[in-house]
Copies of this chain bind each other. A is one copy, B any other.
């Protein structure tokens, strides 16, 4: 059996409350007693029982993480970041995967919420109203989505798209195709806006080819339409789509970057390994997870810390072979 606080108290010759205080509020106990307690703790290998503590404090020392798909490298990295940062704070992480089912989202969060202090919700597809309802019941931090009034971390999609367009324009491109992700996705909408602003500012043309699944298959499906636009460059919703484009363009005999330059978003590991290696807007994935955890913990400590309520992360253009090496002839 594991040692309890009473065992420690007995061994240290003090009361249980003193042990409790020595551990949680060291300032409130005499240095000498504190040392005796520490010794007893050490000797017994005592670790407070979190369930018992939680029962009384109402805090579990646990947070939940809900992602659409763990097998998607983007979310896997994010999870890694969340998990690492939470551990630093001695907080455990429950992970739940909705399997890309938007219907499951709020149910999962609600189920989790009984067991955790707060939840990090990634790329939610639910409506703003649904999210607001969830936030009513539990402390939530959104990732990759901004919803009115809710705390969260998102990426500056507009700026990322600006960087991508600027790069392509500098290489001589004047007509740029855009393969969107799911129409309902917050990031697709914002990337589209950023793109429109950027092409307008730089006086080039944008050729949107519609919305596709954010997958390799989505890219394969979009490729022929991209080719038909007559654009000399294409920006894809994400790297998976861009790699799908690469595959289909290759089998059509369309050379990248010779005939068409391709840019993705995310910078998943796979992008470096693609042929040609993919130019992409790198999104700091683990960083988003870390920021989300910090935000959540801050919010739990002080529920109306309105000042730190939203994080905004920047992407960084990574130039690889799919847009080079030579400028457009």
Known: A83-B96, A84-B99, A94-B93. A71 touches B60 (CB 8 A): no
A115 lies within 8 A of chain B by Cβ: yes
A224 lies within 8 A of chain B by Cβ: no
Q: Which A255-299 residues sit within 8 Å CB-CB of chain B?
A: 269-270, 272-275
Give me 12 A-to-B residue pairs in the complex whose CB atoms sit less than 8 angstroms apart, sorted by A's number. Answer: A49-B55, A51-B51, A70-B70, A70-B79, A71-B76, A71-B80, A79-B95, A92-B112, A243-B273, A244-B273, A247-B273, A273-B274
C-alpha spacing A93/B273, complex, angstroms: 32
A50 lies within 8 A of chain B by Cβ: yes
A182 lies within 8 A of chain B by Cβ: no
Please pick, from B71, B83, B96, B274, the residue contacting A87 in the complex, using a CB distance under 8 A: B96
Please pick, from B49, B50, B62, B76, the residue contacting A76 in the complex, using a CB distance under 8 A: B76
Residue in B closest to A277 when the chains form the complex, CB atoms:
B247
Each complex incorporates copies of this chain amounting to: 2
CB-CB under 8 A from A80, the residues of chain B are 69-71, 97
A208 lies within 8 A of chain B by Cβ: no
CB-CB under 8 A from A47, the residues of chain B are 114
Q: Which A41-94 residues sit within 8 Å CB-CB of chain B?
A: 47, 49-52, 54-55, 60, 62, 69-71, 73, 76-77, 79-80, 83-84, 87, 92-94
Give residues in A with beta carbon < 8 Å to B. 2, 47, 49-52, 54-55, 60, 62, 69-71, 73, 76-77, 79-80, 83-84, 87, 92-97, 99, 112, 114-115, 216, 243-244, 247, 250, 269-270, 272-275
Contact between chains at B70 and A216 (CB < 8 Å): no
- In the assembled complex, how far is the CB of residue A62 from the closest CB belonging to chain B, in whole angstroms? 8
- In the assembled complex, how far is the CB of residue A29 from the closest CB belonging to chain B, in whole angstroms? 24
Please pick, from B52, B115, B274, the residue contacting A50 in the complex, using a CB distance under 8 A: B115
Contact between chains at A114 and B50 (CB < 8 Å): yes
- In the assembled complex, how far is the CB of residue A290 from the closest CB belonging to chain B, in whole angstroms? 13
C-alpha spacing A273/B79, complex, angstroms: 24
Residue in B closest to A69 when the chains form the complex, CB atoms:
B80
- In the assembled complex, how far is the CB of residue A218 from the closest CB belonging to chain B, in whole angstroms? 13
Of A87, A97, A273, most B-chain CB atoms within 10 Å: A273
CB-CB under 8 A from A51, the residues of chain B are 51-52, 54-55, 60
CB-CB under 8 A from A96, the residues of chain B are 83, 87, 93
Closest 10 CB pairs of A and B: A51-B51, A76-B76, A70-B80, A95-B95, A51-B54, A92-B94, A270-B270, A70-B76, A275-B275, A71-B77
Sample of 20 more A-B contacts, CB < 8 Å, known A51-B51, A51-B55, A70-B76: A2-B114, A49-B55, A49-B114, A51-B60, A69-B80, A70-B70, A70-B79, A70-B80, A70-B83, A71-B73, A71-B77, A73-B73, A84-B97, A84-B99, A87-B96, A92-B112, A93-B96, A94-B95, A243-B273, A273-B274
Known: A55-B55, A76-B73. A250 touches B275 (CB 8 A): yes
